[in-house]
Every structure is written in C-alpha cells, then in structure tokens.
Amino acid sequence: MTLIEKILAAHSDRDTVLPGEIVDITIDVRVARDFGGANVVKNLLDNGLELDDVSRTFFTFDCNPTGSDQKYAANQQFCRLYARAKGIKVYDIDAGIGTHLVIEKGLAIPGSTVISTDSHANILGAVGAFGQGMGDRDIAAAWAHGKVWFKVPRSLKLMFTGKRPSDVAAKDIVLNLLARFGANELLGYSVEMYGDEVDRLTLDERITIASMATEMGAIIVLFPPNDVVMAYCEERAGRKLERPQADADASYEREIEIDMTSFVPMTSRPGHPEDAVSFADVRGAKIDSAFIGSCTNGRMEDMRAAADVLRGRKVAPGVVLKIVPATDEIWNQCLAEGIIKLFKDAGALVGNAGCAGCAAGQIGQNGPNEVTMSTGNRNFAGKQGKGKVWLASPAEVAASAVAGYLTTPDAIPDRPAVFEAGEVKAEKAAPVASEAAKPTAIEGRVWVIRQDNIDTDMIYHNRYLTITDIDEMGQYTFDNLAGYEDFATRAKPGDIIITGKNFGAGSSRQQAVDCFKSLGVQAVIAESFGAIYERNAINAAFPIVTYDNIDELGLSDGDRVKVDFVAGRIENLANGRTARLTPFSPVQLDIYRRGDLLRA
C-alpha cells in the first residue's frame, strides 16, 4: 500500500484499502476553530449528541486572535462556554494557528489522523500524518462518534532529481509545482514526495509545501518523515514513535520525475496561486504593502529569513509591512533572538500569533486598489481584502517591502522606489441639494421611542464603522437598541423619530447620523442631544430639533405630524394639538439650506 492507504487502513477495521473505497476512519485529533466552531457545537446540541472522547477534542481560536470582530468574539465565547461544560481543551487567541499547534504540542504525530474546520489541515502531511479540512457536520460527527467516512484517494508519486538551486526557497518549490501542474492536474490525489533534496527539507519547509496542497487540488501532500522530523515529533509527543512509510511494492496511479535544477524564484500573479511566474518576468512592479505570515510561511525559519533581509534596512516610504508569526512559541523565540526588535526597527507592524491576512478578521487585509506582496497560500480576489495580492517567499516579500516593488533579496536597490503624487477622487460624488429641495416644514409618520441616553453604539454599532458608503449604512440603524433591532426593515422614507434626553451620547461617529439619512428618515426630535452628535447632525444638514414638553400632543407610534423648523412648532395631525420646538438657529438653517457644512 501507499503511505495514505497504510494510514487509513490502520485507522479502519480493514487490513488493506484500495483507491475509491469508502471506509470509516478513527480520528486521532478532532479540532474546531473559532471559524466554524460555533456551528459544530450547534450541530451537537441540536441533535442531542455527546462527545466520544474529550481527550482527542480541541478548539483552536486562530482566525481572529485579536478578538476584534464582534461576530468572532461571540462565536469564541460560545465555544468557551461549551468547552468549560465538557472539559474540552481550548487553545485560545494567544496560542496561534491550530494546524501548527497540533504539531507543536505533540498531538499530531507521524501516521496519525487529524481533522479540522480548516481547509489547510492537510498541512499535517508535513509530518507524514493524514490531515483534512472538513465542514461543520463532519467535525460534529467525529466529535460525537470518533469516526468519519472517507473515500480512499488515488496516489501519485513525485520523484525529485537534481540539486535544489541555492536561491530557491520552499515557497518557490511549491510555486514551481503550481506552474507545472496548475490548480487541477493533481485534483483528488494523495501526493507523496521523494528524492534526496526532499529528504533534506526541514520541517518548516515541508509545512510550507504541504500547506499549498489545497491550492494544487490535491487531497494531501505527504512527506515520509526523515530522522530530524521523527526526532522532533518524538520530543514533542514525549514518547517513541513508529515511522510511517509506503510499502516497497506500493502501487501508484502515476509516478512523475521532476528535475529540481530547473526551479527558479517564483511569484504568483494576483487572483490565482497557480498563475506563477519567474521574478525575472515581473520584477519592478510597484507595491503598497507586504505581509509575512500565515500557515504557509509563519514558521521560525520564515521569520529568520525575513530578518536576514530586513537587518539594517528600512521598509520603503509609504509601504506597510505586516508580520504575524504562526504560533506564540515562535513569537517568543523571535523575541528571544531579537527578531521582534529588528522587525520594529525596520518599520514593520508585528501582530500576535494567528492566521492573519488569510482570515478576514486579522492583520493583513488590504483595501481597494492596494497591491500587496504576501507569503499566504491564496490570492483569490477578495480573499485577503479588496486589493491585489502577489504570493512569494518570506525573503522575497521582505526584499520587496524594502525596495517598494517586486524583487528578490539579491536585487534590492540602494534607494527604494517612492510613490508619485496623484489626484485622489471620490468614488461617488454626493448630490448637491438646491435651496428649493430643502423644505423648512415637513410632514411624516412618527416613531415614539421613550428612552433617554440612546448612545451611538445603540444607533449604529462600532462593528459597522468600516462602511463608508452611506447607501449601505441604513440597514444597521438601531440594530443594537433593544426592541428596535428590526427598525431598518420597518422604517419608511419620510419617517420622523421622537425620543428623550441625550440622544446620540457616546462616540463621535458620523455614521450614527448618516444611517438615518440612508433610510430617508426626515428628522429626529429629542429633549436633548449629545454635544458631538448635535454638531454632526447640523453639519450634515440632517434636521434635529429639541423640545421642552410634547406630552400634550398625545402622540402614539404611527401618528402623522407636521414640523416647522423655522417657526419652531410641531402639530399632531391626528388631533390638531401643537407644541413648541426650538427653531433652527441661523447657522443651522444656513447649513441645512446649503445641504452640508462643506458646500458653498
């Protein structure tokens, strides 16, 4: 049997397995991340399932280790509560990437089986283990029953010949393979790597290559462990281990020989990892930012390679370099070796351990039209933000950050490239309202919200502050105000809000005003307003007015009122009752008629 067949057979009730057969496999290590973990728990609870073996069950919070995203924070806490109830080990936001942790902690050993809610769990092929990313239901089934079904994959053997060029990093190796095989020639295969140069690969280099099996379409890239890898795994596991290996007479569907002497430093053009080209073809392309990290290149050797390039140098003016080690152990080793200080002296931002840019919740995201050089495994459109992402090795990314453009460590210029001054245009010009379009008396349906101190987080929560398009803001209005979470779906253009004291208390966010404009709300009438909110509303030409007492109006939700901003008067059209309002000041009226503080 091949290596994958031997591992799967050893974890099934079968002596042998063949490609295409479906077998139930015992899973040694069962992991759920913060991304997907909450759904795993929900599946268990909804179906009344308990855990098969808590000692094999783990949470790893690596997608958003900063806890900066509200949805991730909610999922993480939900999982923590379940873990406390069941006694599950949690590798929390301070620990690092789950697939690296299971190796580092001695949980995943050569010949073992590991599943995670991580499409790159096949990174475990680096130590000769079977690792697979699976969906929420699969993980829940493994947690409950200890097994999952799996279709035995076809096996392919890659034999590397020739000597590896000295300027070719592990990332270059896998990008050369992607250029050779594309994204689907290895689809569905378990790929085994052999050859003298393969045997010399370090664990960190094996991790880099195995991490991108997914981008090649492979089920897994398996490395038969060498003596160094076996010694590392035995030290981490604290016991003697059996070395997994294919049988001498193993049958492979395909065997391919590859000459390593032909490999060159490579980069993948934005959009497709398999669109890999030689640096010689693209050197000089300007970049805005750079990222070093991810499960592909966040190891200690990667940090040292980047440090060697950055030592005594500075990141190019205007370029942002972000660095995120894969695990906390690696982060602390960088600290001990002085690498963190070196990174900071070079002008880099260093984050705590985790997935970083590959997962939308952490350091490494880029904005529209931003060009990023990254050590990640994927550069699909939108994967690492809204900009364009090139892929390369840590040394090449560091060199490019110093140069300000795509380059390799041997071609860093004495002077970095700088950005030329250019005109910045608004994505969408705001309409200019005429004086005739700004009535000083309005009519509309009222919402009567009898609450004081409604703050800006209740009006427009901070989790939406990255939204800059006013058209998108309305949908989030009041979604953090108890009892009014569905306000945006029920409000209609022309509505008027009447509320209590200190409306808009809290932060200075303009969105808490603009969200009402987005929905077409005509005005907010309150007993008083927060000082910053009042200025924001007046400057945005959004009508706000105050009252002393409007109880005599006898208002209820849905009544129609008429409001005169100049006369300072409100009338309940249902019963004809009126009350006094504070009229617009000359400044407020002037800005209101102009349509905005910034308009002439």
Average pLDDT for runs of 10 along the chain of length 600: 98 96 96 89 93 97 78 88 97 94 97 92 96 90 94 97 97 96 91 97 98 92 98 98 97 97 96 92 94 95 98 96 96 98 97 78 78 91 84 97 97 91 60 63 97 92 83 95 96 97 88 96 96 91 96 95 97 96 95 89
Instruction: Verify that 583 and 439 share a domain, yes or no.
Output: yes
Instruction: Verify that 159 and 284 share a domain, yes or no.
Output: no
CATH number assigned to the domain comprising residue 204: 3.30.499.10
pLDDT at 435: 44
Instruction: Verify that 271 and 176 share a domain, yes or no.
Output: no
Its sign, for the CA torsion 384, 388, 393, 396, is: negative
Residue 82 DSSP symbol: H
According to DSSP H, which parts of 13-121 are helical?
34-46, 70-86, 98-104
- Whether 215 maps to a domain, the answer reads yes
206, 235, 262 - which closes a domain: 262
Which secondary structure element, helix H or strand E, spans residue 396, and what is its range? helix 394-403
**Structural domain count, the chain:** 3
CATH number assigned to the domain comprising residue 545: 3.20.19.10
- According to DSSP, the β-strands at 560-564 and 441-449 are antiparallel
Q: How many Cα atoms occupy the beta-carbon half-sphere of 210 within 13 Å?
A: 33
pLDDT at 600: 76
Q: Which domain holds residue 308?
A: 266-411
Instruction: Verify that 123 and 235 share a domain, yes or no.
Output: yes
262, 288, 321 - which closes a domain: 262
Q: Distance between CA 205 and CA 153 in Å, rounded? A: 24
Q: Taking a C-beta distance cutoff of 8 angstroms, is the pair 515, 477 a contact?
A: yes
- Whether 456 maps to a domain, the answer reads yes
Instruction: Verify that 237 and 334 share a domain, yes or no.
Output: no
pLDDT at 424: 61
- Whether 427 maps to a domain, the answer reads no
Burial class (CB in 10 A: 0-12, 13-18, 19+), 533: buried
**56 closest CA partner among 91, 107, 120, 95:** 107
Q: Distance between CA 300 and CA 579 in Å, rounded? A: 71
pLDDT at 423: 65
Instruction: Verify that 528 and 401 share a domain, yes or no.
Output: no
pLDDT at 1: 98
Name 159's bridge partners. 194, 257
Instruction: Verify that 192 and 71 share a domain, yes or no.
Output: yes
DSSP-assigned states of every residue in 126-169:
GGT-EEEE--HHHHHHHHHHSEEEEEPPEEEEEEEESPPPTT--
How crowded is residue 403: how many other Cβ atoms within 10 Å of its Cβ? 26
Cα–Cα separations (whole angstroms), residue 320 to 294, 303, 346, 390, 538: 17, 17, 11, 15, 37
- Whether 419 maps to a domain, the answer reads no
Instruction: Verify that 531 and 579 share a domain, yes or no.
Output: yes
Q: How many Cα atoms occupy the beta-carbon half-sphere of 33 within 13 Å?
A: 28
Q: Distance between CA 82 and CA 95 in Å, rounded? A: 19
Q: In whole angstroms, what separates CA 289 from the centre of its chain?
A: 17
Q: Distance between CA 486 and CA 490 in Å, rounded? A: 7
> Given strand 29-33, what is the order of strands in its sheet?
89-91, 57-60, 29-33, 113-116, 130-133
Q: Distance between CA 537 and CA 419 in Å, rounded? A: 37
- Whether 422 maps to a domain, the answer reads no
Burial class (CB in 10 A: 0-12, 13-18, 19+), 528: middle
- Whether 13 maps to a domain, the answer reads yes
* Angle (CA) 39 40 46, round 5°: 80
Instruction: Verify that 277 and 248 share a domain, yes or no.
Output: no
Instruction: Verify that 206 and 285 share a domain, yes or no.
Output: no
pLDDT at 356: 76
Is 44 strand, coil or helix? helix
233, 262, 291 - which closes a domain: 262
- According to DSSP, the β-strands at 189-194 and 441-449 are unpaired
Instruction: Verify that 252 and 278 share a domain, yes or no.
Output: no
| Crossing angle between the packed helical segments 300-310 and 394-403, to the nearest 10 degrees | 30
Is 213 strand, coil or helix? coil
Instruction: Verify that 90 and 226 share a domain, yes or no.
Output: yes
- According to DSSP, the β-strands at 22-26 and 147-151 are antiparallel
- Whether 430 maps to a domain, the answer reads no
